[in-house]
């Protein structure tokens, strides 16, 4: 009920549509309740009383009521669907906005397919409830009450006799609702699993084809789809049992009316027209009770979906701007790691970084090196506060990053990753990602500095060319240069280069290195790299092993000192010589 009331609170913002929908519903119910009375007059006055002059009048009334009911039904359905769409628009926007505020740690543990399923499938379940079930619930309750009053007014005993089946129908509907709720919950969870497998399969289609895993992926998807089928069939089995059962119980009320009501007609206590009207009223009164199970099932589905959506909305961001946080408009770029220990959420027993202390002065270039899994990326991810330290502090210009305004901090940190992500947008939009208000001249200037201009000007639409999903229309080296141009346009004080030349050829690397030298001028730069050329130009080389700094100094100093750095470099050179020698 808490989740249901929370869903209904979204209706407050659409009070006009709610009012219009309720008005249309009330008028529709009024015309529905009047119709059997017209049928009563038609039977008693025309068919029994042979007053043929009344036939044309009553026929016009019936046609008029039918047209009016049609118009009111249209208004009711339109208002309900419009109300649902507006509420869902608000809910989608709220959910996506909240997702953008959540920290990296959340996305590390939540499969993308699960998130997509909640924004799509779960939202659609809410639409069916708000656009149909809710309005039907209101209409059915009001219709039942209106018809019940008319029946009690016409013949109290017959009305009470007909209502004898209501408790049994209600009990069946209640039991149906209790069982369909878990069934819908299982369906929603399985839809999310299917979406996850599908998303991974499409996103990784190149890997799947490269390793000839199509059959395996198909089998995996089929298994998930079969489980979804079984759960849907289980829900359908409940439907197919309870609805015929309720229809059978309702038939008992019809028999009671025929038995007792027919006798009342024979005894003269009830006219034939009143009997026909009463039978029509009973059918109108039975449907809301029978539809109760249908409404309950859709409501249960919406509650399950709403619970999954609110689970995301209610998740407080672990990393956010604190009240009274500072901004650094004139950031110098000094970075200090002070006794930093960091462990990823859920892996507190195995910290990625341990007791790390390091001071980097403005404008310095720091190369971070170490074996795979030693914590290189973890260290640099703490600077823009993608994660918070477990112990210690990361300071920028002497201020703990947790005390800085998050947006201003990240606008001052430029990042060029090894795996560059480009959006399905134009080349210009991807370059201007951090500064969407940048002029065309500024975008082109950054592109020239990053060596993007030579290939951009050869494209069909130049900077207006769509680069495709994840930039698939561009080569790896071209994507890297776009990322560098993006960082140049942002003009950050702190720059992070995460091994961004490791996957390109020598010729492309030379072009990228030239662009990087322009980008690094006057900025505090952290480079995760293995290339010897990078290590030689760094002001400071920091060597990590198992999340700890084991050596630091210039390239020459570390070579002279020997130790782990010299060993790593020797292995690297031997590997390079072996590759070049064709071994």
CATH number, domain containing residue 552: 3.40.50.300
Q: How confident is the model at residue 132 (pLDDT cuts 50, 70, 90)?
A: confident
Does 209 or 440 have the greater pLDDT score?
A: 440
* Structural domain contains residue 35: yes
Q: Over pLDDT 90: what percentage of the chain?
A: 0
pLDDT at residue 582 greater than cutoff 60: no
CA distance 213 to 208: 5
Residue 147 and residue 66 share a domain: yes
Does 113 or 440 have the greater pLDDT score?
A: 440
The one-character DSSP state at 418 is: S
Residue 350 and residue 206 share a domain: no
* Structural domain contains residue 326: no
User: Are 555 and 538 contacting, i.e. CB atoms less than 8 angstroms apart?
Assistant: yes
The one-character DSSP state at 327 is: -
Residue 54 C-alpha from the chain's centroid: 61
For the stretch 528-551, pLDDT in tens is: 876 666 677 788 888 888 888 888
Cα→Cα distances 32→27, 131, 152, 196, Å: 9, 21, 17, 47
Of 440, 522, 428, 540, nearest to 482 by C-alpha is 428
Residue 505 and residue 463 share a domain: no
| Number of domains the chain contains | 3
Q: Which residue(s) pair with 368 in the sheet? A: 528, 542
For the stretch 243-261, pLDDT in tens is: 777 777 777 777 777 777 7
For the stretch 286-335, pLDDT in tens is: 777 666 666 777 777 778 788 888 888 888 888 888 888 888 777 788 88
Residue 260 and residue 403 share a domain: no
Q: How confident is the model at residue 211 (pLDDT cuts 50, 70, 90)?
A: low
Residue 450 and residue 403 share a domain: no
pLDDT value, residue 315: 83
Q: CB 226: neighbour CB atoms within 10 A?
A: 10
Residue 120 and residue 70 share a domain: yes
pLDDT at residue 65 greater than cutoff 70: yes
CA neighbours within 13 Å on the CB side: how many for 394? 22
Q: Is the pTM of this model over 0.75?
A: no
Please give the residue range of the domain that contains residue 440. 420-491
Of 342, 309, 356, 367, nearest to 99 by C-alpha is 309
Residue 236 and residue 370 share a domain: no
Q: How confident is the model at residue 377 (pLDDT cuts 50, 70, 90)?
A: confident
> For the chain, first and last CA: distance in Å?
69
CA distance 231 to 249: 28
Of 378, 420, 416, 434, nearest to 498 by C-alpha is 416
Residue 434 and residue 474 share a domain: yes
Residue 189 and residue 309 share a domain: yes
Residue 37 and residue 68 share a domain: yes
pLDDT value, residue 581: 52
Q: CB 350: neighbour CB atoms within 10 A?
A: 10
* Structural domain contains residue 226: yes
Helices first, then strands: H and E counts in the chain: 23, 10
* Structural domain contains residue 321: no
Q: How confident is the model at residue 515 (pLDDT cuts 50, 70, 90)?
A: low
pLDDT value, residue 578: 53
pLDDT value, residue 466: 79
Please identify which residue in the block is written with the tokens 């992926």. Answer: 217
Q: Which residue(s) pair with 369 in the sheet? A: 543
pLDDT at residue 511 greater than cutoff 80: no
* Structural domain contains residue 328: no
Residue 265 and residue 159 share a domain: yes
* Structural domain contains residue 320: no
Residue 354 and residue 216 share a domain: no
pLDDT value, residue 533: 61
* Structural domain contains residue 322: no
What phi, psi does 337 have (nearest 5°)?
A: -105, 120
* Structural domain contains residue 230: yes
Domain stops at, among 491, 511, 540 = 491
- Average pLDDT along the chain: 78
For residue 36 the two structure tokens come to 């059997």
CA distance 441 to 146: 71
Q: How confident is the model at residue 579 (pLDDT cuts 50, 70, 90)?
A: very low
Q: How confident is the model at residue 572 (pLDDT cuts 50, 70, 90)?
A: low
For the stretch 337-362, pLDDT in tens is: 988 898 887 787 888 888 888 888 88
pLDDT value, residue 583: 45
Helix axes 214-256, 166-203, angle to 10 degrees: 170
């Amino acid at each position: 009920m808490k989740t249901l009331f929370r869903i209904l609170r979204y209706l407050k913002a659409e009070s006009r549509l709610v009012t219009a929908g309720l008005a249309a519903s009330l008028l529709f119910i009024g015309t529905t309740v009047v119709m059997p009375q017209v049928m009563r007059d038609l039977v008693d006055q025309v068919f029994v009383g042979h007053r043929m002059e009344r036939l044309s009048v009553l026929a016009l009334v019936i046609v008029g009521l039918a047209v009016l009911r049609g118009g009111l039904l249209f208004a009711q359905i339109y208002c309900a669907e419009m109300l649902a769409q507006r509420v869902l628009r608000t809910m989608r926007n709220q959910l996506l906005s909240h997702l953008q505020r959540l920290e990296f740690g959340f996305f590390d543990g939540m499969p993308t397919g699960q998130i997509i399923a909640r924004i799509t499938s779960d939202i659609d379940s809410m639409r069916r409830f708000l656009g149909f079930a809710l309005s039907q619930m209101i209409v059915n309750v009001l219709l039942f009450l209106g018809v019940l009053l008319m029946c009690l007014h016409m013949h109290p005993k017959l009305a009470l006799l007909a209502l004898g089946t209501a408790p049994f129908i209600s009990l069946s509907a209640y039991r149906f609702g209790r069982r369909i709720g878990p069934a819908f919950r299982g369906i929603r969870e399985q839809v999310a699993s299917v979406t996850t497998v599908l998303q991974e399969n499409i996103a990784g289609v190149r890997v799947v084809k490269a390793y000839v895993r199509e059959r395996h992926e198909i089998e995996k998807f089929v298994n998930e789809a079969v489980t979804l089928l079984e759960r849907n069939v289980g829900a359908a089995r409940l439907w197919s049992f309870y609805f015929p059962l309720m229809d059978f119980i309702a038939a008992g009320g019809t028999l009671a009316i025929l038995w007792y009501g027919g006798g009342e007609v024979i005894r003269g206590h009830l006219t034939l027209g009143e009997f026909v009207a009463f039978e029509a009223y009973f059918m109108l009164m039975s449907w809301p009770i029978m539809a109760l199970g249908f409404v309950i099932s859709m409501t249960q589905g919406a509650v399950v979906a709403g619970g999954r959506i609110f689970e995301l909305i209610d998740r407080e961001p672990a990393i956010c701007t604190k009240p009274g946080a500072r901004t650094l408009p004139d950031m110098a770029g000094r970075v200090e790691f002070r006794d930093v220990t960091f462990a990823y959420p859920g892996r507190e027993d195995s910290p990625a970084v341990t007791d790390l202390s390091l001071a980097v002065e403005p404008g310095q270039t720091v190369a971070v090196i170490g074996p795979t899994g030693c914590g290189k990326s973890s260290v640099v991810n703490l600077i823009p506060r993608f994660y918070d330290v477990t112990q210690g502090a990361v300071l920028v210009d002497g201020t703990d990053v947790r005390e800085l305004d998050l947006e201003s901090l990240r606008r001052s940190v430029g990042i060029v990753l090894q795996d560059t992500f480009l959006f399905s947008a134009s080349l210009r939009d991807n370059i201007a990602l951090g500064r969407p208000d940048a002029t065309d001249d500024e975008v082109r200037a950054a592109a020239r500095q990053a060596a993007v201009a030579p290939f951009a000007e050869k494209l069909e639409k130049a900077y207006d060319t769509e680069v495709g999903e994840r930039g698939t229309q561009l080569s790896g080296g071209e994507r890297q240069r776009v990322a560098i141009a993006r960082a140049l346009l942002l003009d950050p004080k702190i720059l992070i280069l995460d091994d961004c030349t490791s996957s390109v050829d020598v010729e492309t690397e030379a072009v990228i290195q030239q662009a990087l030298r322009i980008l690094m001028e006057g900025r505090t730069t952290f480079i995760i790299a293995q290339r010897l050329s990078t290590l030689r130009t760094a002001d400071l080389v920091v060597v990590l092993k198992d999340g700890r700094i084991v050596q630091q100094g210039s390239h020459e100093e570390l070579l002279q000192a020997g130790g782990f750095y010299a060993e790593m470099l020797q292995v690297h050179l031997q590997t390079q010589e072996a590759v070049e020698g064709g071994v």
